[in-house]
C-alpha cells in the first residue's frame, strides 16, 4: 500500500510499504481523512523527541471499516468511524487508576508508532467510535477531545465562569466543551480571527490581550471574583502564571499547554486561594462521546475551523509550506481519496 513517510526531518514522500495485518482484536480500516496538528509539524521539523525516523505520521482520523469486526457486531463493513490514537499498558499507575489517557507508556499513532497517513490501518475495535457525522466532522473529533478532557478535569458546570487562555486547535475544544456545558465561557487570545471562531464555538465573551487589559476585563466580567475555572492551552510562562493569578479563590486551574521552559510562580497563591491545580493530557472515552454528541448537534463551526483540505499527493509540499509559514494555516486536513492511484 501507499503511505506518506517522514524519512528524516524535513523530508516527507509517498512510499510503498507493507499493508497492516490485523490482529484478532483489530479492525482493518481504509483511511479517508487525516487532520494534522502541531505535533505532526514538530515531527516534520525533527523537534519531537518521541519520534524516530522513518515514521508515518497522522493520528486524527476518519476511516471506513473494510471488514466487519467479529467481536464487536456494531462495527460493520462500510461504516465510517473515528478513533482514539493512544495505547494503554494496563499496568502503570495511571492505567491501574482507570486513567489510561495518561498511561506512562502510551504510544500515540504517528508518534511512537506508525500513523494514519496510509491507505489502510488496523486498529483495536475498542478504540473505534461510530457517529452520525460526515468524514470531515469525524476527523475533527480527536483534536476536540483534548479540550473536552480539560473541561472534565476542571469539573465545569453551568454554574461556572471559565476563562480559557488560547484558542488554537486545543483551546477551541475547551471553549466548545465549556459552552456545551452551558458555563459562562471567556475566550482569551491575541488573534481576533481565533476569537471570532471561539464565539461561534460557544464562548460568551472574548478578551484580546493585545488590546485589552486581562485583569481588569476578567474582574469586570466576573463582578470582581475572578473565573471559577482557568484553563491554559498555550504553554507560555506568563499565561501559566496568569491562570493562577486570575482564578477565583478556591477555583480550579487546568493546564493543557506544554511550557517549553521552566515557569516561576508565586506559590503563595496556591495556598492562599486553596486552588485545585490540575494537569490534563489526551482524553478518555467519555470525552470522545461528548465531542460526538456536540458535533451531532451541529454546535461547532466545522467549516470555519478547517483552513485547508489537501489531497495526499500535496501533503509533502503542504507540510513544508506550513513549517515555513505557520501563521497562514490553522487546521490542515488530508483527503486520502486518490491514494490507491498514486
Ligand X SMILES: NC(=O)c1ccc[n+]([C@@H]2O[C@H](COP(=O)([O-])OP(=O)(O)OC[C@H]3O[C@@H](n4cnc5c(N)ncnc54)[C@H](O)[C@@H]3O)[C@@H](O)[C@H]2O)c1
Give the whole-angstrom CA distance, residue 121 versus residue 3.
10
Q: How far apart are CA 233 and CA 148, in angstroms?
A: 12
Q: How far is the CB of 63 from ligand X (least distance, A)?
A: 21
d(CA 220, CA 126): 46
Q: Which helix (H) or strand (E) holds 291?
A: helix 285-296
Q: Residue for cell digits 494514519?
A: 116
| Binding flag, residue 89, Zn ion (CB under 5 A) | yes
Binding site for ligand X (CB under 6 A): 37-38, 146, 165-171, 188-191, 194, 209, 233-236, 239, 256-258, 280-282
Report how far residue 84's alpha carbon sits from residue 288's, in angstroms, rounded to the nearest whole number: 8
Return the one option of Zn ion, ligand X, none that residue 226 interacts with (CB less than 5 to 8 A, by type): none
Interacting partner of 146 out of Zn ion, ligand X, none (Cβ under 5 to 8 A depending on kind): ligand X
- The C-alpha atoms of residue 215 and residue 211 are separated, in whole angstroms, by 12
Closer of 32 and 59 to ligand X (Cβ):
59
Residues 19-48 contacting Zn ion, CB under 5 A: 37
Which of Zn ion, ligand X, none has residue 191 at its interface (CB below 5 to 8 Å by kind)? Answer: ligand X
Q: Tell me which of Zn ion, ligand X, none is bound by residue 32, counting a contact when its beta carbon lies within the kind-specific cut-off of 5 to 8 angstroms.
A: none
CB closer to Zn ion, 133 vs 283 = 283
Ramachandran angles phi, psi of 28, nearest 5°? -80, 130
Q: Which of 138, 20, 142 is nearest to 79 (CA)?
A: 138
Angle at 22 between CA 17 and CA 26, to 5 degrees: 135
Site mask, Zn ion, residues 139-158, x = CB under 5 A?
Answer: ----x---------------
Site string for Zn ion, 95-134 (x = CB under 5 A): x-------x-------------------------------
Q: Grid coordinates representing 71?
A: 467481536
Q: Which does 246 bind (CB under 5 to 8 A by kind): Zn ion, ligand X, none?
A: none
Residues that bind Zn ion (CB under 5 A): 37, 89, 92, 95, 103, 143
Amino acid at each position: 500500500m501507499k503511505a506518506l513517510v517522514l524519512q528524516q526531518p524535513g523530508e516527507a514522500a509517498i512510499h510503498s510499504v507493507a499493508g497492516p495485518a490485523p490482529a484478532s482484536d483489530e479492525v482493518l480500516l481504509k483511511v479517508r481523512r487525516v487532520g494534522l496538528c502541531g505535533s505532526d509539524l514538530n515531527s516534520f521539523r525533527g523537534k519531537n523527541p518521541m519520534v524516530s525516523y522513518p515514521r508515518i505520521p497522522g493520528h486524527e482520523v476518519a476511516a471506513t471499516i473494510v471488514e466487519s469486526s467479529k467481536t464487536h457486531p456494531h462495527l460493520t463493513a462500510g461504516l465510517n468511524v473515528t478513533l482514539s490514537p493512544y495505547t494503554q499498558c494496563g499496568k502503570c499507575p495511571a492505567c491501574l487508576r482507570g486513567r489510561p489517557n495518561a498511561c506512562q507508556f502510551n504510544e500515540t499513532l504517528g508518534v511512537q508508532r506508525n500513523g494514519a497517513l496510509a491507505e489502510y490501518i488496523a486498529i483495536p475495535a475498542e478504540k473505534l467510535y461510530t457517529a452520525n457525522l460526515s468524514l470531515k466532522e469525524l476527523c475533527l473529533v480527536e483534536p476536540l477531545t483534548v479540550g473536552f478532557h480539560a473541561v472534565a478535569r476542571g469539573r465545569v458546570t453551568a454554574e461556572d465562569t471559565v476563562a480559557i487562555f488560547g484558542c488554537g486547535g486545543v483551546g477551541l475544544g475547551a471553549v466548545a466543551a465549556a459552552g456545551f456545558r452551558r458555563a459562562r465561557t471567556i475566550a482569551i487570545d491575541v488573534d481576533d480571527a481565533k476569537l471570532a471562531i471561539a464565539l461561534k464555538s460557544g464562548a460568551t465573551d472574548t478578551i484580546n490581550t493585545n488590546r485589552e487589559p486581562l485583569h481588569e476585563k476578567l474582574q469586570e466580567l466576573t463582578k470582581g471574583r475572578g473565573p471559577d475555572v482557568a484553563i491554559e492551552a498555550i504553554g507560555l510562562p506568563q499565561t501559566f502564571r496568569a491562570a493562577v493569578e486570575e482564578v477565583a479563590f478556591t477555583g480550579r486551574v487546568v493546564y493543557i499547554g506544554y511550557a517549553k521552559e521552566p515557569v516561576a510562580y508565586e506559590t503563595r497563591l496556591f495556598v492562599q486561594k486553596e486552588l485545585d491545580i490540575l494537569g490534563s493530557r489526551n482524553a478518555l472515552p467519555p470525552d470522545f462521546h461528548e465531542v460526538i454528541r456536540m458535533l451531532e448537534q451541529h454546535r461547532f463551526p466545522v467549516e470555519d475551523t478547517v483552513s485547508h483540505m489537501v489531497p495526499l499527493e500535496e501533503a509533502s509540499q503542504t507540510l513544508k509550506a506550513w513549517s515555513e509559514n505557520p501563521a497562514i494555516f490553522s487546521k490542515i486536513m488530508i483527503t486520502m481519496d486518490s491514494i490507491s492511484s498514486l
